[in-house]
């Protein structure tokens, strides 16, 4: 899956106008999983409910009380026919689907019990009086079914037999069932949208991680690979899609209705979580590249407007790139990609039928910013990478999810770079993943990448793994690995790994074995095995700060904790020491590499002369922070001030980010960190500016309600004015766009910061553009600048501006435009408008369910909206929790988002009270976030107490005329 609620850098910075600074700690994921209803009563017999017999006292050790399947049965193939209804049932008013399914499986251990996953499905009884029929495939007689019932808690259909299944025999189990096609974004669900005033319904799926069992009974674990023969029944004039190619389509009569039946060619051997079934009346565009049919599907008006073209242009080349990167042909005859109006994650890598949020696939020159475009290219690359890494070779169990997601999150940059070579997009992993996850992984409440298989059992435990650690830390350490092995060795190991395990399953250490083999063959020298080096990064949480004393040459490492007072209670077998690859340089000398594989050692070469500075972690290819002796810091600051180009651009961004975080951790003085921003007056590059804005976000959050705020804005205005002027000049007074991708980003930063810090020329410009739009109804604002301009104009305006933006939001013809407005609507300074907007978030006619939590977080990012959003979330917690899913990722975003600014005793007490009051309802996947928020609030309080005076004074001195 790709990250769900994406906060683009540009939006994040823009947000700072009213203080949305949450970006760095927001975990960019949100898949809402359906919540088991307490009194779910699922067993039906042709419409009449019969209660599942209460058989087992809990807790117990019976097989159906365990969340993992027994190892006795292995599926071979399934035949599944599903019929989703796109109009509500006349009697119940429910949208439903009906289906029948049969699965052929092998008995690998004698047993008289069949457990197969099933969730929220109602079964039709057969003549045998049971919920299923069983027959032997290889001749002979199958034992008969003694009892059949549903175990709701562990999501099983349970069949007890009156005799044993024979080892190595094949059997076939058949069922008929009905399920609800709910709007819950999980399993087989429905998405709705309006087209020319007519409501349209799409039936679609999101199976990962454990919702295939909501569509049909199946052995729903990633290692239970099988072949799937899918048939979809659907209304006339709709299109049915699934993982395989359409084999035939015919008109049939079902229950007196003339409908179509589409049969798909059997899939490859694959995991259940990668299945997809979609019925819609979407249109498509297509292309055949090297024998692979590539199709982009979307709503008809979107296709007619050419919004699928960019995706179509890029998919073929990226697919070809990965074929060569993995040295493995794309194994399917087609690759469909479809944009859905309602979709919770960013995208999902269903094999052969990838699903996307509309904003992650549809591009329109008139509406899309360069950031939107970059996201489309990277997300397509992310999902296509999964076609091999994840789909062809699948991790055995969810505990290794980090490898699957971390890998795709790393190579998405390689794929996008191949598709758009002028962008330098590979560098951005440092801002988007490394720096972002550092913020979370530096907390004592972080967790290691790898989990034990036995610790991950329940669906909500699986869902909790889809976090920034798995995605961004996974990506960062794999990038480091590829860097120290070299890309040639890395891809060689990767290729032989894929070749050994294709159509099967692996564990993460299997990849290390193949990489080790490639290391030996290439003669690369490492201080230890790949396995031992990587264990230090994978099995313990956090990362080190490497300290270099350039006077003595002593290099040492220490677990970096953002809050120096926090206590790490989880022991690590590596004692929080890492095997660290260090690439470093000295003024005027070549880059060198060295390993730090002990707590501390002396590296003579790192001793610097009076005139030399040392800089380590070249291009931030390593997953660690760097600190220096004071003299070296001074020399680096001087270098920045005198000739900043001497330091590579990524490292300029690093120096700022490291300094601010080292200061947070009380390793260096806060004033030293602030001094890294002084040279920005000469800086024109995006990455250092963005790093500074990200670092200052925290200052913004801590000070935007007190007297430091004014003088801080004055300083920032002084720093950003030359940048603003620079962009004004190179764009011919805002008439054209800067040519480079990064320059376009930095133009947005310049405008956001200039407007926010009160540069009048900027504010006037934003207001005038917006007014022109309101007056003429023709939008004159360049797409790249829209988020920031909308936000500034709405913040400066009143109800008229807000209502205008709302009407534009409701009538937007492309989700990318709607998203910019949805964000900007949170920028108003009118409490009543903010409160009303909060109410809208829980009304699906106003705000789609997929967007609810991110909208609340946007509002909380506004200094005025903060307390309103917190009150709102507190008051509605039970409702939000039950309606928006128990096992969802988005709760951690929500809780972190609304409590980000907390820094007072009063807020701490409220947070503790909130935890206590809702102990019974619980926080689902937000549980950890509640504790992290408490930890963060305490740290913030201390930080303000210790730093406020010093920071105030520093800013005052800097702005003195
Ligand atoms: C699936 O359908 C095929 C073709 O009709 C048939 O040969 C096979 O036995 C069926 N398998 C199951 C499990 O129903
Ligand atoms: C399944 O059965 C339950 C209990 O009778 C009922 O409430 C629910 O609506 C049924 N679902 C469907 C999709 O028919
Ligand atoms: C569905 O389409 C088929 C062939 O296109 C046609 O024969 C049939 O009448 C249609 N049924 C309805 C209800 O429109
Ligand atoms: C897609 O490619 C075609 C042909 O190269 C080009 O004309 C078109 O502008 C491209 N469209 C987009 C949106 O990139
Ligand atoms: Zn993914």
CATH code of the domain in which 525 resides: 1.10.390.10
426 or 461: which carries more pLDDT confidence? 426
Q: What is the pLDDT of residues 920-941, one digit of tens each?
A: 888 877 788 898 899 889 989 9
Please identify, among 280, 315, 332, the residue that sits at the C-terminal boundary of a domain. 280
CB-ligand 1 contact for 79 (6 Å cutoff): yes
- State mean pLDDT over 580-603: 94
Q: What is the pLDDT of residues 306-361, one digit of tens each?
A: 999 999 999 999 999 999 999 999 999 999 999 999 888 889 999 999 999 999 99
Residue 130 annotated as binding? Answer: no
Indicate whether 180 and 196 sit together in one domain. Answer: yes
Of all protein residues, the one whose alpha carbon is nearest to atom 1 of ligand 1 is 79
Q: Is the pLDDT of residue 121 over 90?
A: yes
Of all protein residues, the one whose alpha carbon is nearest to atom 2 of ligand 4 is 313
The band of 50, judged by pLDDT with boundaries at 50, 70 and 90, is: very low
Indicate whether 271 and 137 sit together in one domain. Answer: yes
Of all protein residues, the one whose alpha carbon is nearest to atom 14 of ligand 4 is 310
- State mean pLDDT over 248-265: 95
Q: Is the pLDDT of residue 46 over 60?
A: no
CB-ligand 4 contact for 309 (6 Å cutoff): yes
Residue count (the chain): 961
Of 383, 700, 801, 907, the catalytic one is: 383
Residue 122 Cα: closest atom of ligand 2: 1
CB-ligand 3 contact for 236 (6 Å cutoff): yes
Indicate whether 269 and 286 sit together in one domain. Answer: no
Name the strand (E) or helix (H) holding 762. Answer: helix 760-776
Of all protein residues, the one whose alpha carbon is nearest to atom 8 of ligand 1 is 79
In angstroms, the CA 74 to CA 491 distance is: 33
Residue 313 Cα: closest atom of ligand 4: 1
Q: What percent of the chain has pLDDT over 90?
A: 84
DSSP 331-395: -SSEEEEEEESS-SSSEE--TTEEEEEGGGT---TTT--HHHHHHHHHHHHHHHHHTTBTTTEEE
Residue 76 Cα: closest atom of ligand 1: 13
CB-ligand 4 contact for 310 (6 Å cutoff): yes
Asked whether residue 722 is assigned to any structural domain, the reply reads no
CB-ligand 3 contact for 258 (6 Å cutoff): yes
Please identify, among 536, 553, 588, the residue that sits at the C-terminal boundary of a domain. 536
Which of 309, 372, 380 is the pocket-test mutation for ligand 4 (most atoms within 8 Å of CB)? 309
Residue 386 annotated as binding? Answer: yes
Q: Which residue has the tokens 């690439």?
A: 583
Q: Is the pLDDT of residue 49 over 50?
A: no
CB-ligand 2 contact for 187 (6 Å cutoff): no
Indicate whether 144 and 210 sit together in one domain. Answer: yes
Ligand nearest to the CA of 84: 2
Ligand nearest to the CA of 122: 2
In angstroms, the CA 29 to CA 4 distance is: 4
CATH code of the domain in which 853 resides: 1.25.50.20
Residue 137 Cα: closest atom of ligand 1: 9
587 CA from centroid of ligand 2 (Å): 72
CB-ligand 2 contact for 122 (6 Å cutoff): yes
* The pLDDT of residue 891: 81
**Average pLDDT over all residues of the chain:** 91
Which of 236, 261, 262 is the pocket-test mutation for ligand 3 (most atoms within 8 Å of CB)? 236
- State mean pLDDT over 794-813: 95
Ligand nearest to the CA of 311: 4
Which of 122, 150, 189, 190 is the pocket-test mutation for ligand 2 (most atoms within 8 Å of CB)? 122
Asked whether residue 107 is assigned to any structural domain, the reply reads yes
906 or 18: which carries more pLDDT confidence? 906
Q: Which of 912, 905, 843, 830 is nearest to 874 (CA)?
A: 912
Indicate whether 942 and 866 sit together in one domain. Answer: yes
- State mean pLDDT over 275-299: 97
Name the strand (E) or helix (H) holding 113. Answer: strand 111-117
Q: How many CB atoms lie within 10 A of CB 13?
A: 29
Indicate whether 902 and 945 sit together in one domain. Answer: yes
Peptide bond into 59 cis (omega under 30): yes
Asked whether residue 36 is assigned to any structural domain, the reply reads no
Indicate whether 331 and 472 sit together in one domain. Answer: no
* The pLDDT of residue 4: 57
Alpha helix ranges (H) inside 215-353 = 300-304, 309-326
The band of 531, judged by pLDDT with boundaries at 50, 70 and 90, is: very high
Ligand nearest to the CA of 170: 1
Q: Are 78 and 128 in contact (CB under 8 A)?
A: no
Which of 114, 133, 142, 229 is the pocket-test mutation for ligand 1 (most atoms within 8 Å of CB)? 229
Total-model pTM: 0.92
590 or 808: which carries more pLDDT confidence? 808
Asked whether residue 819 is assigned to any structural domain, the reply reads no
Q: Is the pLDDT of residue 792 over 90?
A: yes
Of all protein residues, the one whose alpha carbon is nearest to atom 1 of ligand 3 is 236
Asked whether residue 548 is assigned to any structural domain, the reply reads no
Q: Is the pLDDT of residue 8 over 70?
A: no
Please identify, among 536, 566, 600, the residue that sits at the C-terminal boundary of a domain. 536
Q: What's the total number of domains in the chain? A: 4
- State mean pLDDT over 658-678: 97
- State mean pLDDT over 363-371: 95
CATH code of the domain in which 334 resides: 3.30.2010.30
CB-ligand 1 contact for 172 (6 Å cutoff): yes
State both tokens at 856: 């609340």
Q: What is the pLDDT of residues 716-760, one digit of tens each?
A: 999 999 999 999 999 999 999 999 999 999 999 999 999 999 999
Indicate whether 325 and 256 sit together in one domain. Answer: no
- State mean pLDDT over 538-542: 97
To the nearest 10 degrees (0 to 180), the angle between helices 309-326 and 487-501 is 90
Ligand nearest to the CA of 346: 5
Asked whether residue 682 is assigned to any structural domain, the reply reads no
Indicate whether 124 and 264 sit together in one domain. Answer: yes
* The pLDDT of residue 58: 53
Indicate whether 181 and 326 sit together in one domain. Answer: no
Name residues whose C-beta falls within 8 Å of residue 447's C-beta, 6 or more positions apart in sequence: 469, 541
Name the strand (E) or helix (H) holding 905. Answer: helix 905-917
- State mean pLDDT over 585-589: 88
510 CA from centroid of ligand 5 (Å): 20
483 CA from centroid of ligand 4 (Å): 34
* The pLDDT of residue 5: 45
* The pLDDT of residue 59: 59
Q: How many CB atoms lie within 10 A of CB 198?
A: 7
Q: What is the pLDDT of residues 10-30, one digit of tens each?
A: 443 333 332 222 222 222 222
DSSP 134-149: EEESSSS-PPPEEEEE
Asked whether residue 751 is assigned to any structural domain, the reply reads no
725-743 b/e (C-beta count within 10 Å ≥ 16 → b): ebbbeebeeeeebbebbbb
Indicate whether 457 and 350 sit together in one domain. Answer: no
Of the given ranges (53-57, 84-88, 296-300, 567-571), which has the lowest mean pLDDT?
53-57
Q: Is the pLDDT of residue 47 over 90?
A: no
The band of 889, judged by pLDDT with boundaries at 50, 70 and 90, is: low
Residue 869: give the domain boundaries.
830-960
Of all protein residues, the one whose alpha carbon is nearest to atom 7 of ligand 1 is 79
Of all protein residues, the one whose alpha carbon is nearest to atom 10 of ligand 1 is 79
* The pLDDT of residue 40: 29
Three-state DSSP at 308 gives: coil
Of the given ranges (39-43, 133-137, 641-645, 825-829), which has the lowest mean pLDDT?
39-43
Asked whether residue 843 is assigned to any structural domain, the reply reads yes
Q: What is the pLDDT of residues 470-517, one digit of tens each?
A: 999 999 999 999 999 999 999 999 999 999 999 999 999 999 999 999
| Backbone φ and ψ of 890, nearest 5° | -70, -15
Of all protein residues, the one whose alpha carbon is nearest to atom 13 of ligand 4 is 310
| 905 annotated active-site | no
| Backbone φ and ψ of 834, nearest 5° | -65, -40
Q: Is the pLDDT of residue 45 over 60?
A: no
Q: Are 307 and 298 in contact (CB under 8 A)?
A: yes
- State mean pLDDT over 424-433: 97
Indicate whether 364 and 424 sit together in one domain. Answer: no
To the nearest 10 degrees (0 to 180), the angle between helices 686-703 and 649-664 is 20
Residues near ion ligand 5 (Cβ under 5 Å): 1, 405, 408
839 CA from centroid of ligand 5 (Å): 32
* The pLDDT of residue 721: 97
Of all protein residues, the one whose alpha carbon is nearest to atom 3 of ligand 2 is 42
Residue 234 annotated as binding? Answer: no
Of all protein residues, the one whose alpha carbon is nearest to atom 5 of ligand 2 is 49
* The pLDDT of residue 849: 83
CB-ligand 1 contact for 229 (6 Å cutoff): yes
208-226 b/e (C-beta count within 10 Å ≥ 16 → b): bbbbbbbbbbbbbbbbbbb
In angstroms, the CA 510 to CA 517 distance is: 11
Q: Which DSSP letter does residue 794 get?
A: H
280 CA from centroid of ligand 3 (Å): 17
* The pLDDT of residue 797: 94
Burial of 269 (0-12, 13-18, 19+ CB in 10 A): middle
503 CA from centroid of ligand 1 (Å): 21
Which of 287, 313, 362, 366 is the pocket-test mutation for ligand 4 (most atoms within 8 Å of CB)? 313
Ligand nearest to the CA of 384: 5
| Backbone φ and ψ of 165, nearest 5° | -80, 145
375 CA from centroid of ligand 4 (Å): 17
């Amino acid at each position: 899956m790709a990250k769900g609620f994406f906060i683009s850098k540009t939006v994040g910075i823009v947000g700072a106008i009213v203080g949305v600074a949450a970006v760095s700690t927001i975990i960019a994921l949100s898949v809402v999983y359906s919540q088991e209803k307490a009194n779910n009563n699922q067993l039906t017999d042709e419409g009449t409910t019969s209660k599942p017999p209460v058989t087992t006292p809990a807790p117990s050790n019976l097989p159906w009380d365990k969340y993992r399947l027994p190892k006795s049965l292995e599926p071979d193939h399934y035949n599944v026919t599903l019929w989703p209804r796109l109009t509500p049932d006349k009697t119940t008013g429910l949208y439903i689907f009906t289906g029948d399914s049969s699965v052929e499986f092998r008995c690998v251990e004698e047993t008289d019990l069949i457990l197969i996953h099933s969730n929220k499905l109602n079964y039709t009884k057969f003549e045998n009086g049971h919920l299923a029929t069983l027959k032997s495939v290889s001749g002979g007689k199958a034992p008969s079914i003694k009892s059949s019932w549903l175990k709701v808690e562990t999501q099983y259909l349970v069949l007890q037999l009156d005799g044993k299944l024979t080892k190595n025999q094949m059997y076939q189990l058949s069922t008929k069932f009905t399920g609800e096609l709910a709007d819950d974004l999980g399993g087989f669900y429905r998405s709705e949208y309006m087209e020319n005033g007519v409501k349209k319904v799409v039936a679609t799926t999101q199976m990962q991680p454990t919702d295939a069992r909501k569509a049909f009974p199946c052995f729903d674990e990633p290692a239970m690979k099988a072949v799937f023969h899918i048939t979809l029944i659907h209304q006339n004039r709709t299109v049915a899609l699934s993982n395989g190619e359409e084999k035939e389509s015919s008109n049939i009569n079902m229950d007196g209705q003339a409908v179509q039946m589409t049969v798909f060619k059997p899939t490859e051997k694959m995991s259940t979580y990668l299945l997809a079934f979609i019925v819609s009346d979407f249109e498509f565009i297509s292309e055949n590249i090297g024998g692979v049919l590539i199709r982009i599907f979307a709503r008809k008006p979107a296709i007619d407007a050419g919004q699928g073209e960019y995706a179509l242009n890029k998919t073929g080349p990226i697919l070809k790139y990965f074929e060569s990167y993995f040295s493995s042909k794309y194994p399917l005859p087609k690759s469909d990609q479809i944009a859905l109006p309602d979709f919770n994650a960013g995208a999902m890598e269903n094999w052969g039928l990838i699903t996307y949020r509309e904003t992650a696939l549809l591009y329109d020159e008139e509406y899309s910013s360069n950031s939107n475009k970059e996201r489309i290219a990277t997300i397509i690359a992310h999902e296509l990478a999964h076609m091999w890494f994840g789909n062809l070779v699948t991790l055995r169990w969810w505990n290794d999810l980090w490898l699957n997601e971390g890998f795709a999150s790393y190579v998405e940059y390689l794929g996008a770079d191949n598709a758009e070579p002028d962008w330098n997009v590979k560098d951005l992993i440092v801002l988007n993943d490394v720096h972002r996850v550092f913020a979370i992984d530096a907390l004592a409440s972080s967790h290691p990448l790898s989990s034990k298989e036995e610790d991950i059992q329940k669906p909500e435990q699986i869902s909790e793994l889809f976090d920034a650690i798995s995605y961004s830390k996974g990506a960062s350490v794999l990038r480091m690995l590829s860097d120290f092995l070299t890309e040639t060795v890395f891809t060689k190991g990767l290729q032989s790994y894929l070749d050994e395990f294709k159509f099967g399953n692996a564990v993460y250490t299997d990849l290390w074995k193949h990489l080790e083999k490639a290391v030996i063959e290439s003669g690369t020298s490492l201080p230890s095995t790949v396995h031992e080096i990587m264990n230090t990064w994978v099995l313990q949480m956090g990362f080190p700060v490497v300290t270099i004393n350039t006077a003595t040459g002593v290099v040492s490492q220490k677990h970096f904790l953002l809050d120096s007072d926090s206590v790490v209670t989880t022991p690590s077998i590596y004692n929080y020491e890492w095997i660290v690859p260090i690439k470093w340089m000295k003024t005027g000398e070549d880059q060198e590499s060295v390993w730090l594989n002990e707590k501390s050692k002396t590296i003579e070469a790192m001793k610097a002369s009076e005139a030399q500075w040392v800089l380590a972690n070249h291009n931030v290819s390593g997953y660690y922070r760097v600190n220096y002796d004071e003299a070296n810091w001074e020399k680096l600051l001087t270098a920045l001030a005198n000739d900043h180009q001497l330091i590579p651009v990524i490292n300029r961004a690093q120096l700022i980010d490291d300094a601010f975080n080292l200061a947070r951790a009380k390793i260096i003085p806060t004033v030293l960190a602030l001094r890294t921003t002084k040279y920005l007056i000469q800086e024109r590059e995006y990455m250092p500016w963005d790093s500074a804005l990200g670092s200052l976000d925290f200052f913004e959050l801590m000070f935007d309600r007190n007297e430091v705020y004014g003088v801080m804005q004055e300083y920032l205005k002084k720093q950003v004015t030359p940048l603003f002027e620079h962009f004004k000049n190179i764009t011919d007074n805002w008439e054209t766009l800067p040519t480079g991708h990064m320059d376009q980003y930095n133009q947005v930063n310049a405008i956001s910061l200039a407007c926010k810090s009160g540069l009048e020329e900027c504010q006037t410009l934003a207001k005038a553009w917006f007014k022109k739009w309101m007056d003429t109804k023709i939008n004159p604002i360049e797409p790249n600048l829209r988020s920031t301009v909308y936000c500034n104009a709405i913040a400066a305006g009143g109800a008229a501006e807000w209502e205008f933006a709302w009407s534009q939001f409701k009538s937007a013809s492309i989700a990318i435009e709607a998203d910019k407005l949805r964000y900007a609507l949170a920028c108003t300074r009118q409490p009543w408008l903010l409160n009303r907007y909060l109410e809208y978030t829980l009304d699906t006619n106003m705000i789609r369910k997929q967007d609810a939590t991110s909208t609340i977080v946007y509002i909380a990012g506004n200094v005025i909206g903060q307390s309103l959003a917190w009150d709102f979330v507190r008051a509605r917690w039970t409702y939000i929790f039950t309606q928006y899913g128990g096992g969802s990722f988005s709760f951690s975003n929500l809780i972190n988002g609304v409590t980000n600014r907390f820094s007072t005793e009063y807020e701490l007490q409220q947070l503790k009270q909130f935890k206590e009051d809702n102990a019974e309802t619980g926080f689902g996947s937000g549980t950890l976030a509640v504790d992290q928020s408490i930890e963060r609030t305490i740290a913030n309080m201390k930080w303000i107490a210790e730093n406020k005076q010093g920071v105030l004074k520093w800013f005052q001195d800097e702005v003195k005329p």
